[in-house]
Amino acid sequence: MKNKKFGGRHPERVRASERPKDLSSGDLEGIARRVLDLSEADETEVEISAATDALTRFANNTIHQNVAERTLSISVRAVVDGRTARATTNKTGEESLRRVVASAAALARNEPENPNLLPMLRAQKYKKVARFFAATAATTPEARARAVKRVCSMADKNKQTAAGIFSSGSMRSVLANSKGLFARYEQTRAEFSVTILEENSSGWAKANSPDVRQIHPDALAESASRKAAESRQPRELAPGRYTVILEPPAVLDLLGFLFYDFAGTAMLDKRSCLSGRMGKKIFGENITIWDDAYHPLQWGAPFDGEGVPRQKVLLVERGVPKNLVYSRATAKKMKAKPTGHGFSLPNEYGEAPMNLVIAGGDQSVDEMIRATERGILVTRLWYIREVDPYEKILTGMTRDGTFLVEGGRVAGGIRNFRFNQSIIEMLANADMLGPSVRAAGEESFEMVVPAMRVRGFHFSEVTKF
């Protein structure tokens, strides 16, 4: 039956016994122990990650790229006389391991002493997270191709053109040091993203999850198809300030630009837009934000780049920025406690919240549309860049499904706008929030985020399509 569906062809499979064997957590731990044994530095840390990733890419209703990769990274940080540096290799032979250990120490010896360097952490306890799904790791090129084939057939049937990706992969990592710390993490990842094009319109949808069974390519493609159809023959509106309804990916892509400002290091460096604004009500009463690596819709390791357990941190409470996140060194400088958000050392940016959860409301996008006399519905934003780092003015474009809302209903597609908008002002003017969902965009990392209706959003120019 399956073969008949695909024209009777039998794709040649790589037999399970022929497939390259993934490195197990035990393999990685063995390499880590060997690295630590080889090092003569005062302190040594080793990060090892092994990943298998595959991505099927389609456009013009056909698969045009289809790739897979297996990668390994063995990264060693040495501390010598109060100095630290990092060397990385992807070679596992004894000679390569000796060389990478020696390189890290040699680099460290040749830099000035670092007065802020802290001793490495001892063993830590971590909360368990379950983010490795066998079904995702076992996804085959044929399974991805079959899903893509269905989406392309749907587009053909609708006289539309589909483009997108279907990816799947897995990674295992170990972080260990000579003080006895040993942290392990494994995760799978699946993602489907689709753009459906018509002659003068397009629609887009995207989802990702550690569990491939949570990814529904047909439903995503149908949503994108509907948007493309509903935005045909877009009309041009004059630039200006509009009420906007931002779907979750659009909110995500904007807010991603705000959160490096919640790093203690950014505050010390005086490049945070929160300088002079902590504890002040700068956003609306309805804006509350956490960083929470343990949220069921989040992913990522329960420890940071030095092995500090990640903590749930309340960043904004009812419109007031309350807390920052800290690496160990930044915490010491700022007389705070580490929150488990530090990057691997040595680095210059310190830390950042990477598991954002924005509190939602109870109004759906449909309810927002019904409650809007005149406004713009935005599916997705594109090429967002920071124009003013303190007022947090961002510029970018709408893309793949921008609609006029009139009299409480969607009144058709419009040509894409350029915006120049402060996101501090935006979060002060958000008057309706949807339920928080896991969303994926292109400009920022994944978040748990609601749709938002925002008053007075500034569209400064309009493009030609």
CA distance 41 to 24: 27
Give the footprint of other proteins on residues 264-303 (CB under 8 A).
269-271, 275-276
Piece of the chain touching other proteins by CB under 8 A; list 180-188, 252-260, 384-392, 446-454 = 384-392
Pick the closer one to other proteins by CB: 17 or 128.
17
374-388 and 240-246 beta bridge pairing: parallel
* Shortest separation between residue 74's beta carbon and other proteins, angstroms: 10
**Of the candidate residues 24, 91, 123, 138, the single one contacting other proteins (CB under 8 A):** 91
* Shortest separation between residue 205's beta carbon and other proteins, angstroms: 10
Structure tokens at 161: 């053109």
Single-letter residue type at 264: G
**Of the candidate residues 31, 36, 48, 194, the single one contacting other proteins (CB under 8 A):** 194
Structure tokens at 263: 């790093």
CA distance 404 to 383: 22
Q: Tell me: does residue 216 bind other proteins (CB under 8 A).
A: no
CA distance 426 to 452: 10
First CA to last CA distance, the chain: 44
Give the footprint of other proteins on residues 92-151 (CB under 8 A).
100, 103, 107-108, 110-112, 114, 116, 140-142, 144-146, 148-149
Piece of the chain touching other proteins by CB under 8 A; list 14-22, 31-39, 213-221, 429-437 = 14-22
- Please return the burial class of 464, using the count of CB atoms within 10 Å of its CB with bins 0-12, 13-18 and 19+: exposed
3-class secondary structure per residue, 170-194: EEEEEEEECCECEEEEEEEEEEEEE
Structure tokens at 281: 């009500």
Q: Tell me: does residue 68 bind other proteins (CB under 8 A).
A: yes
CA distance 306 to 326: 12
E-strand stretches of 81-160: 83-89
* Shortest separation between residue 270's beta carbon and other proteins, angstroms: 4
**Of the candidate residues 12, 157, 238, 407, the single one contacting other proteins (CB under 8 A):** 12
Pick the closer one to other proteins by CB: 84 or 311.
84
E-strand stretches of 198-254: 202-209, 240-246
Q: Tell me: does residue 416 bind other proteins (CB under 8 A).
A: yes
- Cβ pair 351, 327 in contact under 8 A: yes
Give the footprint of other proteins on residues 219-258 (CB under 8 A).
none
Give the footprint of other proteins on residues 390-409 (CB under 8 A).
390-391, 393, 395-397, 399-400
Helix (H) or strand (E) run with residue 99 in it? helix 94-109
CA distance 55 to 90: 22
Piece of the chain touching other proteins by CB under 8 A; list 196-204, 291-299, 401-409, 447-455 = 196-204
Give the footprint of other proteins on residues 424-443 (CB under 8 A).
442
Q: Tell me: does residue 385 bind other proteins (CB under 8 A).
A: yes
Q: Which residues contact 306 (CB under 8 A, 6 or more apart)?
A: 45, 120, 121, 327, 328, 342, 344, 345
Q: Tell me: does residue 87 bind other proteins (CB under 8 A).
A: yes
**Of the candidate residues 24, 88, 233, 364, the single one contacting other proteins (CB under 8 A):** 88
* Shortest separation between residue 305's beta carbon and other proteins, angstroms: 13
Pick the closer one to other proteins by CB: 3 or 364.
3
Pick the closer one to other proteins by CB: 77 or 310.
77
**Of the candidate residues 43, 420, 431, 437, the single one contacting other proteins (CB under 8 A):** 420
Size of the residue set binding other proteins (CB under 8 A)? 101
Pick the closer one to other proteins by CB: 90 or 364.
90
Structure tokens at 105: 């120490």
Strand partners, 388: 393
**Of the candidate residues 130, 347, 370, 374, the single one contacting other proteins (CB under 8 A):** 347
Residue where the block lists tokens 């008057």? 431
Pick the closer one to other proteins by CB: 105 or 313.
105
Piece of the chain touching other proteins by CB under 8 A; list 8-16, 212-220, 246-254, 367-375 = 8-16
Give the footprint of other proteins on residues 304-333 (CB under 8 A).
none
Helix (H) or strand (E) run with residue 223 in it? helix 217-230
Structure tokens at 400: 């793949």
